[in-house]
Chain A
């Protein structure tokens, strides 16, 4: 079970080929070739770069391909084919996970010096807070000797697979705008998400599945809502498709009661037959596109429930990930993420809500809620990296972990009052993320914070740098990857962003 069955791969390949052929036959029947079908409605402005020699040039206004999700090649050879992005919504504390600060432990309980507070704005800390030492024991693991908290026992096995980025900063200290910043490169509403950019640039490898899938756990959406997987000013075809654990995995996927697969086939045949006659009348290429979209919808009705069903996974996989079919859980979503990238989905975005450890109640206490969140995510994350590796997929899958900002080395004192539990306020100036696979160095590290993890002292990394690096691994020059909107070319990285070379292979 550890290896992918080559026979299976071959048969999959052959199946895909035959599907492609069917499509070609259909198109020839209408006297059209792939290159001459007009998308029509995806109007102007959709180009990646104005340079005409650029192979990425896609002008929807002239003679585009009718399928906006057709696989595309990026600017240069990509290290990663797909992305699994694990976002811990609420912002996990670096001090209880990855950023070991013995000096902070010594300062525990002392009043925060004014030099750290002058000119700073906090979401909840008022007046003079007290320093808060780490609420976890740390030790070094792996050949890289990375420091890890005791709350991440499984992560020890895979610590050498990842590269830590410890000196990240953002400019937002409230969840919604910071999540927008993290996923769209701007704290303003209305920009396309990272996954939308990637799908716009690369299309989808699998014709029967969406190119950009979103999975959520923790009971609610991230604070910034669906806009963090929205397509902003890009066509909505590039927005993330939220797959759900309960009800239809994709909204409206299931046929109405009584409509069997057979009847559905008849209906779609009839619809498409009438549409062909309509095409003969008006010659509108959009009609041809619609015919193919109905075919894809028909296929999706089978392919999506299939890929979203984890009950048929072998027991050892369930043991490894800690999955329980039927639940809405982070573990289930992580396993689904692996299945989806295996099937050619480009971008799988996970949101796990509940990391906002302010210490205002048990759920948000570092000594209770935070430990629970670590326990629920540690095992599946380790399993994901091991599983991708054993399938030979880690090399081509970029895995990203992180929150929207960091947390303060001070104990929160909301409203100027001492709290019952230990907890930390939002902190935009220094936090940790990690990346693995997809051309990321094994056992690497970049960036350093000061002795109390308050400020970055070396190799400061911005969110735009993270985005530039992600795009680079997917084969994009982030400065040339643009979309014309409101009279100017927009970039995910706006006017900034530099590659984090140190963590690249």
Chain B
């Protein structure tokens, strides 16, 4: 032992000596001889001092440093500012070093430091080498042979697997002179892993198996937890933040929206360990896959989670465009770790994304069928058993009398009511208007135009509308208001709201503007509309005309279209007659079009191989192509952030040059590469890999040294101690009190919430408290109304889901204390926990408290903490007893509840 420690001391001295020499030598070497590295040495200087005036936005004096070619261009002076290899004639260098204050750059600020100037001079001298930002470099297999740093080799006592999480982490720690903590206690580790995987404290059974009898090892714990259905319920939250999932529409009236099947899709995708590449393709373009399944259609709800505006007087096109622009930003931020939002107004100020490229990305997404309609079309309808039977009979009959294709077309129409033309596409009106900018209404002698309607081979117009008056008549003209009448019909008065109105159409070929004319002699000009319209469907006659059951099945068909069904929002692509062109918007203003653009991914990244214009599906496939440098890095970094509280690159939303550079670039790249090629995009494998590392399993005790050298714990010399998420805080309290329901999926639930939290204008919807076990469901199923979040979870930093949220900022506030102390949900949980303490905790107070603590923390309570809580019981019991009031008859139970509530408020209980 003694010899070993002496050797150790000598070795350490050696290390220090070498370290000093190496550092000195390397700093001299770097500043004078070595090649200047653009990314690590030049770019930070340019970003700090130059780029705000000479970047992608401002290009003062015609000089921009956004790319090498820009930087070498001739400026307004008529000469280039930088001449590679020529310091003397490079105006760039002269302006940085001149004594003339009017000319010296950066203008009005302090000059650059001598060191910075040396770097820039050498950079120019060496030929102005540009570099690709780390995140845009392709991911490559890392060389196993690459030696570790000298320091690690000298100091490492264990034979660590090269290329593992611990290898990279410890390599950095040694440089900092830090060591990882020892392994955490089993109880601490179990609680941590349980929250990281399923978002709940461990069950008593698992505590027994892993902590007490030690019959299973940690890997088995991880496997058990990963196979639990609670895994998806926990991990879905991070994805729903990115997807800005909510159960309401967002703006003003913020009406409820039915898109919870998308939430369930996310939960189930995590649980079945759907490969991430498939997960992304389904969400971005599931509708464009061959014969998409319901699941693939539901997945496209991802980009239907955008806010819509039902406020009266809004321009539907404006809000459609806002939604599409949000989809561009969310795709880039959420899936590609790149903030593109600023590029909608101008070129990216720091990164190589010109203004135009935002709109080229938008061109992939600009041809979906949604249009800010009030019913949030397009949707996928889910039929109840009876309706489904009717549909099955109908399609079976159509196959008999017509083709399979026809039957599929009708089935698709019943399920999606697409492709239709929306009445809000009307663009000219006489005695008619878009009422509340939502539905087209025609008054007496009203006419409205629907542009560019394909009429070739069309035999019938189906219209969803309701008529408020008897005696109305509808005419369909083509080309101009008094043009040829191709269809007309007498209208009855609707009896049950919107109906399907069928109007046969004369044969016409080509696309025409149609003019809908409404006449009704019984109306006055000022009267309200006689007819309100929702959509138009142009199709062939209902099949099987000669069949005896034709009439019956046609009525069944219309019944199915008229009935109310459950639905979820989906994406579908525009038919050819509705294809939109995409233009660059001048400074992001949707009303001012500049050049037309076509679908294309940014130049700095690998391109899509395609001869024709690539579509949304091609874009989706490009995102998850193994050659895309951003996708895997982005997601791996996000998973790391979920587990360790901060990403390897801290700014998970921005891996660009203004983001914080990764602390362990090689680790991130190694994980991103192996995740694609070895783990085949398995999220569970990725999580497991992290959890099985020594880095993850160390204890979270903070030593003075590690606090001093690594205050924010970026280098992981200890396990981070992280406050639970809003969802976890709630779920944990329900679980330890025994109230938590394990029912999965379904429409959002409304657990108890204080009165008057919903006060949305023009909205009569209200919070109707759920019944039975639905009050105690996991937080993920709680109704998310954007304008009024569930308040206790909002207090614990639940995101409002208005836009893509890459990471929640955890706060620590007195309002949080008020929630866990006073919210009736937590009070009820305290009462139930107290009951459990009494029933299951044994006869002695000490044991009851110990039982509660074990339920909460997964371990026995320390004596000193136990004493504090026993004392609380005794003191509060005296106090309850002294309140000579009928209400407090059960002083023992009240005192026990007070203790239980205290347990639910402990700092260690709110942290993992």
Contact = CB atoms under 8 A, between A and B. Distances in A.
Interface of A: 38-45, 50, 61-63, 68, 121-124, 126, 173-177, 188-190, 216, 219-227, 230, 235-237, 241, 244, 246-248, 250-260, 262-264, 266-267, 269-271, 273-275, 277-279, 281-284, 286-287, 289-291, 293-294, 296-297, 300-301, 353, 414-418, 425-426, 486-488
B672 to A, nearest CB: 20
Top 4 closest A-B pairs, CB basis?
A123-B313, A225-B787, A487-B658, A189-B802
A41 B809 contact: yes
A290 B311 contact: no
A487 B651 contact: yes
Contact of A284 (B251, B659, B721): B721
Contact of A256 (B646, B802, B812, B824): B824
Nearest to B763: A220
B812 A258 contact: no
A481 B244 CA distance: 28
Interface of B: 48, 250-252, 254, 307, 309, 311-315, 322, 333, 339, 341-342, 349-350, 429, 431-433, 435, 441, 443, 526, 645-646, 650-651, 653-654, 656-660, 700-704, 707, 711-712, 721-723, 754-757, 759-761, 786-789, 791-792, 794-795, 797, 800, 802-803, 809-819, 821-824, 827, 862, 864-865, 868-869, 871-872, 875-876, 879-880, 883, 887-888, 894, 898, 901-902, 905-908, 910-911
Contact of B787 (A62, A190, A226, A252): A226
B868 A270 contact: yes
Contacts of B646: 43
Contacts of B794: 236
A277 B252 contact: no
Contacts of A38: 707, 711-712
A193 B729 CA distance: 27
Given A225-B788, A237-B811, 14 more contacts: A40-B712, A41-B723, A63-B711, A123-B314, A124-B313, A175-B252, A190-B803, A223-B251, A224-B252, A230-B800, A271-B905, A274-B865, A278-B907, A294-B817
A244 to B, nearest CB: 7
B654 A267 contact: no
Contact of A62 (B704, B711, B811, B816): B711
Q: In the complex, which of the residues A225, A273, A290, A415 has the most CB atoms of chain B within 10 Å of its own CB atom?
A: A225
A126 B887 CA distance: 65
Contacts of B654: 486-487
A240 B718 CA distance: 35
Q: In the complex, which of the residues A126, A220, A227, A283 has the most CB atoms of chain B within 10 Å of its own CB atom?
A: A283
Given A282-B721, A415-B441, A487 B656 contact: yes
Contacts of B443: 417
A375 to B, nearest CB: 21
A175 B787 contact: no
A43 B313 contact: no
14 contacts: A41-B809, A61-B711, A174-B311, A190-B800, A220-B760, A223-B761, A225-B788, A251-B791, A258-B887, A267-B876, A277-B865, A277-B868, A297-B817, A488-B350
Contacts of A247: 754-756
A417 B794 CA distance: 44
A487 B350 contact: yes
B658 A488 contact: yes
B883 A260 contact: yes
Contact of A270 (B755, B797, B823, B869): B869
A290 B312 contact: no
Given A173-B313, A189-B307, A227-B800, A286 B812 contact: yes
B817 A267 contact: no
A307 to B, nearest CB: 15
Contacts of B759: 216, 219-221
Contacts of B910: 290
Contact of B879 (A237, A263, A291, A415): A263
Nearest to B874: A266
Contact of A297 (B429, B650, B821): B821
A417 B442 CA distance: 12
Nearest to B817: A297
Contact of B754 (A225, A248, A417): A248
Given A252-B819, A487-B350, A189 B803 contact: yes
A123 B433 CA distance: 12
Contact of B814 (A188, A224, A281, A300): A300
B815 A250 contact: yes
A370 to B, nearest CB: 17
Instruction: Decide if the interface of chain A is mainly helix, strand, loop or mixed.
Output: loop
A23 to B, nearest CB: 14
Given A267-B872, A297-B818, A221 B433 contact: no
A278 B907 CA distance: 8
Contact of A223 (B252, B333, B907): B252
A291 B907 CA distance: 8
Given A246-B756, A274-B906, A286 B818 contact: no
Contacts of A416: 429, 431-433
B653 A486 contact: yes
Nearest to A46: B809
B879 A275 contact: no
A339 to B, nearest CB: 20
A237 B815 CA distance: 9
Contacts of A301: 818
Given A42-B809, A42-B811, A252-B819, A188 B313 contact: no
A224 B251 contact: yes
A282 B653 contact: no
Contact of B872 (A220, A248, A270, A278): A270
A173 B311 CA distance: 11
Contacts of A257: 887
Contacts of A122: 313
Contact of A286 (B441, B659, B723): B723
B891 to A, nearest CB: 10
Contact of B894 (A45, A123, A174, A258): A258
Given A256-B827, A486-B339, A283 B888 contact: no
Contacts of B888: 258
A247 B812 CA distance: 25
Contacts of B431: 416
B286 to A, nearest CB: 26
Given A223-B252, A487-B654, A487-B658, A274 B869 contact: yes
B811 A44 contact: no
Nearest to B802: A189
B306 to A, nearest CB: 10
Given A175-B252, A190-B802, A487-B654, A263 B814 contact: no
A284 B718 CA distance: 11
Contact of A294 (B252, B433, B814, B898): B814
A282 B659 contact: no
B813 A237 contact: yes
A26 B329 CA distance: 47
A393 to B, nearest CB: 26
Given A225-B254, A230-B800, A416-B431, A283 B707 contact: yes
Given A41-B723, A42-B809, A252 B760 contact: no
Nearest to B433: A415
A429 B707 CA distance: 56
B887 A266 contact: no
Contacts of B311: 174-176, 223
A278 B309 contact: no
A247 B250 CA distance: 26
B200 to A, nearest CB: 21
A227 B657 CA distance: 30
A227 B800 CA distance: 9
A196 to B, nearest CB: 12
A255 B868 contact: no
Contacts of B658: 487-488
A44 to B, nearest CB: 6
Contact of A417 (B526, B817, B887): B526
